[in-house]
Amino acid sequence: MKNTRRRNRWIMGTFVGTAAIAVAIDHTRHRLPEPLPPQHSESAPNPSAVVIVDGDTDTPCSLETSPCSLEESPCSLDETTGAVDESPCSL
Amino acid sequence: MPSAAHMVFDCIQRFGDASSNPVLEVLKDVPDFAQGQKYPQPALAFAAGCWRTYYHSHPLTGGGAEEHGHFHLFVQHDDAADEPAWTHLAALAMDRDGQPLRWFATNRWVTGGQWGEHDRLLSAVDALAPMSEQGILQQWLVAMVQLYRAELDALLCSRDAQLAGRLCACPAEQVLADRSLYELAQSPIDLRSKLTSQLRGEIV
């Protein structure tokens, strides 16, 4: 009897937790804004290339204000540019 | 001290109360979310400034059409001398409804910085303390990293295994700069199942 009661309590706890989790997650489902296309982009010729935004002063993938911003040419992600040292997802 | 699962759940509840989610939290003051840009600028600091993250979206991912973008997570490299150097832990991809989709590890050329050794990265994960974070996004990120510690451990193992064969044939610098290698490993996320398994039997 005691074991049955304990098992029932455990099952109830699981049920409540699962339902609460599902509801909570559903409440955070909100359609995200579609990203606007880059103003200037270059499509690289192979799957390893990255679409590049050629901004005036910054690159899409390096933060100038970050400690690890890359000081090299801002559009060097594309192998066709000849520069391959840039990291597209650096800080 | 609440578990990582509890912290994630708590953050989710607060996101829900605000009709938000982690990505909307990042983009809430952004009038035009643009492909290729990083949000926020500068990157969001957390863990007493020892970690940084930003969110962005670009076509070069293995997540397919359901992936909206991803958070890149960086930890400060201990051996930094004058200027802080950063090491990439992993990226956390999000779907178009703002839900976590998968973790993935990239080659070094993708993020630059110092290459993160497996054990060192896990030590940094273990040092995180979700309760000390001020913002809900930072709390959620820290809790997610800790909740998925085992998966990140396996992810880094897979990453290293992916590189191991190539490192036998080529110098490390060449392999880590190889642009034919973008994603090295990934680990799918089913947050509902994860939280259910972690919080099973607890009153939440």
Domains of chain B by residue range: 4-197
Q: Judged by CB atoms within 8 Å, which residues 6-35 of A form the interface with B?
A: 10, 13-14, 16-18, 20-22, 24-35
Return the pLDDT at A58: 37
- What is the pTM assigned to this prediction? 0.81
Regions of chain A short of the pLDDT cut 70: 1-16, 39-86
β-sheet bridge partners, residue B114? B87
pLDDT tens for chain B, 204 residues long, are 788 999 999 999 999 999 999 999 999 999 999 998 899 989 999 999 999 999 999 876 667 889 999 999 999 987 656 677 899 999 999 999 999 999 999 999 989 888 999 999 999 999 998 777 789 999 999 999 999 999 999 999 999 999 999 999 999 999 999 988 999 999 999 999 999 998 875 554
Residues of A with CB below 8 A from B204's CB? 16-17, 20-21
pLDDT on residue B107 = 93
pLDDT of residue A61: 42
CB B105 within 8 Å of CB B73: no
Q: Which of B23, B26, B37 is best to mutate for the A interface (most A CBs within 10 A)?
A: B37
CB contact under 8 A, A32 and B97: yes
CA A51-B90-B190 angle, 5° bins: 100
Provide, as residue numbers in chain A, all residues whose Cβ is less than 8 Å from the Cβ of B41: 63, 65
Whether the link from the prior residue into B40 is cis, omega within 30° of 0, is yes
pLDDT value of position B65: 83
Which residues 49-68 of chain B have a CB within 8 Å of chain A? 52, 54, 56-60, 68
Min Cα distance B6 → chain A (Å) is 11
What are the structural domain ranges in chain A? 1-30, 38-91
Residue B59: what pLDDT?
A: 78
Burial B87-98 (b: 16+ CB within 10 A, else e): bbbbbbbbbbbb
What pLDDT score does A46 carry? 42
Which residue of B19, B43, B108 is in closest CB contact with A66? B43
Spatial distance between the Cα atoms of B140 and B145, rounded to a whole number of angstroms: 9
B182/A contact by beta carbon, under 8 A = yes
In A53-72, the residues whose Cβ lies within 8 Å of chain B are: 53, 60-63, 65-68, 70
